[in-house]
Amino acid sequence: MDSAQLPEDFEAHPPQAGAVSASTPPSTPPSTPPSAPGPVVGRDQSPSEGKPPIVPGFAFRPTAIAGAYEVEMIPFRDARGTFSRAFCADTFRAQGLMDRFVHANLSGNPAKGTLRGLHLQEQPRAEVKLVRATRGRVQDVAVDLRPASPTYLRWAGVELCADKQNALYVPEGCAHGFLTLEDQCEVFYLVSDVYAPDLARTYRWDDPAFGIEWQIAPTLISDRDAAAQDYRP
């Protein structure tokens, strides 16, 4: 990224001591389980004389599901506060992840204990989702329903928090759902394909085949989600 792409009020500076430096993309494709637990770090850098200034970036932390990541924003900080980039197509593409989203959805949830899911859209309109809490805290869950995946039928859960500004990257072929952990939660997510009702599937949130460990007991579920059947390959 060159300096012309930075926000008008943005001033880039070298990182402070202890800041995470940039690294090259991983050699292991995201469709296979990561071999190390540490995050892959991606940053945008602007060319300049000498050491380039650092602008906001991301840490991609592997989960229990192949190709699913907790995405943490690495902000720029100064006396005014912070500036973070919520998504960057170039950085995601460099990590082998989806870099094109066609829908941006906002889910308002007034009550603690609201559960939405588990939802999946099948091929040829399978979806990648990038999910974050913009208000409150939620337990966000993905279940691997890809028969050829080394993590088939495993689930991964991440607590998404507006204060932490983290996100969950959910790859194609994974069912997704979330549970609100407090009142007045808002969930914002990017989706890589258009909604296709004939390809939409709902799976039981408490299916023993998944064994999801929800942090609290759900108290509000839609009729459709409550009537979902057990998963059958």
pLDDT digits (tens, 9 = 90+) for 139-155: 999 999 999 999 999 99
Distance CA 233, CA 230 (A): 10
Tell me, what's the pLDDT at 233?
A: 85
**For residue 130, is pLDDT > 80?**
yes
Q: Structure tokens of 194? A: 């258009």
Tell me, what's the pLDDT at 41?
A: 62
Catalytic positions are: 119, 189
Average pLDDT for 191-203: 97
- Residue 27's contacts (CB-CB under 8 Å, 6 or more residues apart) are none
76: β partners: 83
Tell me, what's the pLDDT at 116?
A: 98
Among 199, 197, 200, 206, which residue's Cα sits nearest to residue 230? 206
Amino acid at 14: P
Among 55, 48, 21, 43, which residue's Cα sits nearest to residue 90? 43
Residue 92's pLDDT band, with cuts at 50, 70 and 90, is: very high
DSSP-H helix ranges across the chain: 89-94, 223-226
